Amino acid sequence: MDSDFNNILWKQFGAAIDMLKNAIALCPEEYLADGSKQFYISYHSILFLDYYLTIPPTDFTAQLPFTIKSPEEIPSEAIDDIIPDRIYSKKELLDYLRSAREKCRELISGLTEEKLKERWINEPDELAAYVTLHYSVFEILLYNLRHVQHHAAQLNIFLRQEFGQAPDWVSSAEDDIHKMS
């Protein structure tokens, strides 16, 4: 397989992750520490980044544990039924994101044409049980990249509205596919 493909995919996926990292890093600790919408968006984004990178998804174990709650147990600021077992610190969130970023880099680095065609299928009793995803590995990577960028944008809107500033655009991951920065 053409190594340029792997490197280009990494450069763009890594850039999306870096934009999420920059938004979380700029978010004031007190906004994350009180179980705010920003905390739940950050946690959700990182958790699903990690989940969608797990092949097969049945092998997924979250680095920062959660519980799936019933509708009446869901905090008002949460964005889904996947509730962290506690309010994790900004450092814990960023450490988890760093770990997921490395997992992403390693996965993309090792992609072959055969691996890209493998299927990523979640089951009804797994995360995102409200929808069955039956994607190729290539498609789940694109889906995942879009998901990360979507939530990075939500955090950027919040930062701009609340503080008049947001992180700059990241056009490409700084590190190469074969070397972590």
Average pLDDT over residues 131-141: 93
Q: Which domains does the chain have, with CATH numbers?
A: 3-163 (1.20.120.450)
Say how far apart CA 70 and CA 153 lie, in whole Å: 28
Say how far apart CA 12 and CA 81 lie, in whole Å: 29
pTM for the full predicted model: 0.95
Asked if the model's pLDDT at residue 25 lies above 60, the reply is yes
137, 115 in Cβ contact below 8 A? yes
* Confidence at residue 181, expressed as pLDDT on a 0 to 100 scale: 45
Structural tokens at position 5:
């493909």
Cis-peptide, bond into residue 56, ω within 30° of zero: yes
- At 85-97, the pLDDT tens digits run 999 999 999 999 9
